[in-house]
Chains A and B, each alone.
Chain A
Amino acid sequence: MSRWRGRLLVLVAGSVLAAIVLLALFADRVAPAGPNDQDIAARLRPPAMVGGTWSRPLGTDELGRDVLSRLLHGGRVSLMVGLLAVAVSCPIGVVIGLASGFFGGWIDRMLMRFTDIQLAIPTILLAMALVTVLGPGVPNLIITLSVTGWTIYARLIRGETLALRDRDFIEATRAAGAGQARIMFRHVLPNVVSPVIVVATFAVGSMVVLEATLSFLGIGVPLRVATWGSMLSSGRTYLKSAWWITAFPGLAIFVTVLAINALGDSMRDALDPRLRSRV
């Protein structure tokens, strides 16, 4: 890809994402109504562009709630869950990967076998089982997503650490008397951080989709909490008569994940082109 086209892509993806984040962040001020404000008299009103009114630009749902307002408030929850899940799972995976690659031997075998076990369970099934244990709700959803998400970092960091641990500069640090923890976190970690940033960027998109999937299945957040997934879930019954309830939250997920992936692609090319075949 030519350099200018790459820059344009970053600019477009970054702007789209920034707009989505800002709209979600300031949903209280931007949204025309509250996410759970009901107007039973105005149930299932179509969007303005197909015969509705501009006071409800994206129409209303089965309880007369404003779809645009729920979309903006829902974005806040969906993005927050996605970001926090990455913020929790990434350090867990990094520490496990570092320990596995750095110490080797039985620690490596044990940790990687555990990683293999988790990877053998399809993420959705594991998340479903975890939600059953923890119960529904936003904090439990973040824990669930974090538990399902750490393996990718552990695998990646282990490989990178294995390649680094016998390099001369690590040997030199060891010879200078640095302790294990210091070598791991001060010397190995900074050298493997680029691929982690790239993978974490992609992971935010995956987590947004996974949250939406679980909420769509009715086991993520409680239905009254507006997220893009719960909106899709409640709207599916009205697909025949009110397509807009499902179309817009799905479109929001699609555009958000597309922008995140485009940013991830650009970051990978800039930070660590070797990852092209792996991510």
Chain B
Amino acid sequence: MLIFLLRRLWSTLTVVVGVAAVIFVLLHLSGDPVALLVPADAPPQVMQDTRHALGLDRPLLQQFVIYLSHAVAGDLGTSLRHNRPVIQLIGERLPRTMLLTAAALALAVLIAIPTGIVSALWRGSLVDRTAMVLSVAGQAVPIFWLALMLIWIFAVRLEWLPVFGSGTPWHLVLPAVSLSTIVLGRLARLVRSSMLEVLEQDYVRTARAKGLGETPVVWRHALKNAAIPIVTVVGLQLAQLLGGAVVTETIFAWPGVGVLAAEAVFNRDFPVVQGVTLVVSLIFVAANLAVDLAYVALNPRIRLG
């Protein structure tokens, strides 16, 4: 177990450093940030001094090593646009993004699991067919369009919910519903197929033969065994959700890291783009590490190492 943990931690670490390197190189290829900081008619000496002050005249590898060593200490640099520490900017907005992502994920799981189970139990029924048609449709609908249509129906026409912003739980409804569709359809279909597979197993037949009611058979015996592919997909879909949050936040003016990243890309605010990407990727790899560990809890037969 310890060797497995260490090996997983090592691979997580190399992935995080790799992500930092990829983003670092990419953004440094994209142009000179100094051009955005000084007036267009500034003399070359001013440009050079600014570049030197920001450390942008050093070799790329040296800049990267400095960046990484600072990042480990929690210093992700200073925003060129806001002139404030990047970690502070992210720290202010990350809870909002996490709230939105968690709400969307919870909504998707709460709808997809019962839907998938009911579809599997009543295979071929009208409920099953309707649920699966909706799931397939959900996988095809672009979230930004769904978000706009939800705004049009529920905020503009019916005036039930606020159009954008944050502050009350009502502000969370439309962004969370839009974002949840990224995973909802796929998850419901996966729960259905996993449950169908498990429900045909001998141990489920045995449980039924023993006279167990349908509820304990489904919840205690079948669902627990069907959970492994479901948990894997939830972990992997987290990257999609975090990416989708960028779009959702932009549409609903939800003050999270997604909006921060989108603004930073427009403004070529390197440190902010680096910081957001690094933090979001860190959350993703940490979540997948947690998923790997959850396997052991869900299925002790999985041998590690």
Contact = CB atoms under 8 A, between A and B. Distances in A.
A277 B22 contact: no
The binding surface of chain A is classed by DSSP as helix
Contact of B247 (A117, A120, A124, A131): A124
Residue among B19, B142, B243, B280 with the most chain A CB within 10 A?
Answer: B142
Given A130-B26, A250-B145, A114 B18 contact: yes
Most buried by B among A131, A205, A254: A254
Given A130-B26, A216-B144, A113 B277 contact: no
B156 A122 contact: no
Contacts of B265: 128-129, 131-132, 219
A118 B46 CA distance: 37
Interface residues of B, number: 51
A217 B261 CA distance: 12
Contacts of B273: 128-129, 132
Nearest to B242: A122
B144 A213 contact: yes
Nearest to A257: B140
B142 A128 contact: no
Interface in B235-269: 239-240, 242-244, 246-247, 250-251, 261-262, 265-266, 268
Interface stretch (B53-61, B147-155, B294-302): B147-155
Interface stretch (A54-62, A63-71, A240-248): A240-248
A143 B151 CA distance: 33
Interface residues of A, number: 45
Nearest to A131: B265
A129 B264 CA distance: 10
Interface of B: 11, 14-16, 18-19, 22-23, 26-27, 29-30, 136-137, 139-142, 144-146, 148-149, 151-152, 156, 190, 193-194, 229, 239-240, 242-244, 246-247, 250-251, 261-262, 265-266, 268, 273, 276-277, 280-281, 284-285
